[in-house]
Each structure stands twice: as structure tokens, then as C-alpha cells.
Amino acid sequence: MSTTLSIDTATDPILERRKRIQAMASASLVRRKVYSKIAIAVCWAFLAVAIVPLVAVIAYVMIKGLPAWNLDFFTHSTTPEGIPGGGVWNAIVGTVEIGAIATAVTVPIGLLCGLFLAESDGRIANGIRFTADVMTGMPSITIGIFGYIAIVRNFGNSGLAGAFAVGFIMLPVIMRAGETAIRGVPQTLSEAALALGARRATIARKVTVPAAMPGIITGVLLAVARGLGETAPLLLTIFGNQYLQWNPTKAMNALPLVIYNNSSQPYADLIQVAWGAALLLMVVVLALSIGSRILAVVLQRERR
């Protein structure tokens, strides 16, 4: 009996094929390890190529901008050249108001469109998806011109016009991020809710959207970070204001506008304010970008 089993094992084609594959894998193990180390080294090199300029820019802006940071910089409005004590408080207020209005209007619309795109694949959905992709790659100056034609020519420069233009920049990002996050929700959750008799609107509100919240929040924060850093739409919509203005229906100032206007002046004190505003805006954008990733990871762990 044992002789028969040994003969069958020796002549088994499956075992013979497995032995040949193992022998080939062993013969190429050294070569594959070398290729793997080369590929990892190339990836690290490209990572360094991407990170070194970023770190250099951040360090340079910090060196240039930190001397401008003081109490007056954060509590006083902008002043003309030669008048000491100027700050960017009016620009901070304008940036916060414009970003808040744009976010409050754009997020509900973007999430509804993202939910529709995630649940539908018809011609209308494909058309909206294509439009969102085109808007994502559209130059910001084009959106600024659109805001100027649609709002400024009819109602004048105002913070609302700036929020309108910034909202158009944020909208496609929120739409596509919302669609991706919602599509990532397991279909079994919706099917279980349908089996319990829940309506589709209830499923979307209480099952799908909460489950996709980490991705949605990440997309919203990244959209806000991109919108706050745009300069071209604000140049044509909010006009700028050296005085503190809380009313969004009037001309306002914003950090990107301060950076653009002051950096082109031949006065050292205004250029210093521009560097300080650039550093402040960079810190805000980095905080939103990094914070969105951290928040998404935390929410993902809590959901598990």
C-alpha cells in the first residue's frame, strides 16, 4: 500500500507542476528582491523630489512672514504705506465671511448632487459628472469673469459676489468627493434597510450619508482649502476694502487680495504685510488639508 501511494505522489502532475513553480520562484528570488529594492529606492527618490520643494517653500515663507506677525497684524486693518501699525484684520474677517457663505451654500448642493450621481448612471448623471470634471479643471480667472458678469455688473462688488465665485470653485470638488464617498458605502447596508421597509430618502439620510461621512468631510475641507486660496475670482468680485467691513453686500477685503496688492508695491512695510498674510493663508490651508486627513482616519476608526 505504501509503495502505491509513493508512486502516485511521485507521478502526480499537480505536485510536479507545484515543484516546478517553486523551483522557478526560488531561482528568481534574488533577482526579484533586487528589482524590489530598486523600485522602492525610485519611489523614495520621487517622494524626496516632491517633498523637498514643498518644505523649502514652507520654510522660506515662514522666514519671510514671521517677522510681520504681531498683535497689530492680527487686530488692525490695513493701512497705507508709511503708516505704522497696519494689519490684516479686515482681510481675515472678509476671508472668513466669504468662505463661510460659500461653504454654507455649496455643501448642501454638492452633497445632493453627489448623492444623485452615486445613485444614478443615466444620461443626466453622466452630463452632470462631465460638467463637474470640466469645472474642476477650469482656470479660476474664468470663474472670476463669470462672477463679474453675473453678479458684479448687475449688483456691484461685494463679499457675496466673491462667495459666489469661490462657491463655483468648491462645488465640483464637493460633488465628486461626495459621489466617491457614497459609492464606497457597502451596498449591503442599503439592501438591509430596504428589507426592513425603509424609504430611499430615509436610507440616504440615516444610513448612506452617515456611513460616507469620513470621505464627505475630507472632500468638504479640501474644497474649502482650495477656495480660500484662490485669488483671481476675488480680484474681479470683492474689489477690496482697506477698512473693516462686516456687511457681505459691500466691498470687502481678503487675504489673497492683500497678498496680491501688497506684493506688487515698492514699499518694504507693505511687502512685509504681504509675506505675513501669505504665511497666515498657508497655515490655514495646510491645517485644513492635514486636519481633513486626520479627521477622516479618526471617523473611520470610530465607525469600525
Q: What is the DSSP string of 222-253?
A: HHHHHHHT--HHHHTTTB--SS----TTS-B-
Containing domain of residue 28, as a range?
Answer: 14-65
Q: What is the pLDDT of residue 279?
A: 92
- Same-domain status, 25 and 76: no
Last-in-domain residue among 65, 92, 107: 65
Q: What is the pLDDT of residue 213?
A: 82
- Same-domain status, 46 and 185: no
Q: Reduced to 3 states, what is the DSSP secondary structure of residue 184?
A: coil
What residues does 252 pair with on adjacent strands? 239
The CA angle 260-266-271, to the nearest 5 degrees, is 50
- Same-domain status, 23 and 46: yes
Low-confidence ranges of the chain (pLDDT < 70): 1-12, 25, 27, 302-304
CA 236 to chain centre: 23
Q: How far apart are CA 212 and CA 207, in angstroms?
A: 9
Torsion sign over Cα 251, 257, 260, 262: positive
Burial class (CB in 10 A: 0-12, 13-18, 19+), 243: exposed
Q: Residue 6: inside a domain, yes or no?
A: no
- Same-domain status, 19 and 143: no
Q: What is the pLDDT of residue 304?
A: 61
Q: Residue 9: inside a domain, yes or no?
A: no
Exposed e or buried b for every residue in 77-109, given b needs 16+ CB within 10 A? bbbeeeeeebbbbbbbbbbebbbebbbebbbee
Q: Residue 7: inside a domain, yes or no?
A: no
Q: What is the pLDDT of residue 101?
A: 92
- Residues of the chain with pLDDT > 70, as a percent, come to 94
Structure confidence by residue, pLDDT tens digits, 229-268: 888 888 888 888 888 889 888 888 898 988 888 888 888 8
- Same-domain status, 249 and 113: yes
Q: What is the pLDDT of residue 59?
A: 92
- Same-domain status, 195 and 277: yes
- Same-domain status, 47 and 145: no
List the CATH number of the domain containing 224. Answer: 1.10.3720.10
| pTM, 2 dp | 0.78
- Same-domain status, 239 and 111: yes
Last-in-domain residue among 32, 65, 98: 65
Q: What is the pLDDT of residue 38?
A: 92
> What separation in angstroms does the CA of 161 have from each of 102, 139, 147?
10, 18, 6
- Same-domain status, 258 and 246: yes
- Same-domain status, 59 and 185: no
Domain count, the chain: 2
State the maximum Cα–Cα separation within the chain, in Å, rounded to a whole number.
105
- Same-domain status, 166 and 262: yes
